[in-house]
Amino acid sequence: AKYMTTKLQTISQDASLAVAANIFHTASLRRLLVVDGERLVGILSRRDVVRHIRDGRAELQRARVS
């Protein structure tokens, strides 16, 4: 329990990667649960966002989580 959090942070699958990057930074998280309404559709990691930036795939404002 010392290393686990009980407060889960979610992000909409329609959110931009810029929003996700901001959440990762401000909340010091490593993973976000990606949801469609109340349904879990995936997990986004901080590493996923960093790779996206590193590979220059798209601008963060236009790129979507899903």
Count CA within 13 A, CB hemisphere, residue 32: 27
**In the chain, what are the helix, strand and coil shares in percent, each to the nearest 5?**
30, 25, 40
46 phi, psi to nearest 5 deg: -60, -40
| 43 pLDDT higher than 60 | yes
Mean pLDDT computed over 33-45:
95
Question: Residue 12: which pLDDT band, with cuts at 50, 70 and 90?
Answer: very high
- Enter the DSSP assignment of 38: T
| 57 pLDDT higher than 80 | no
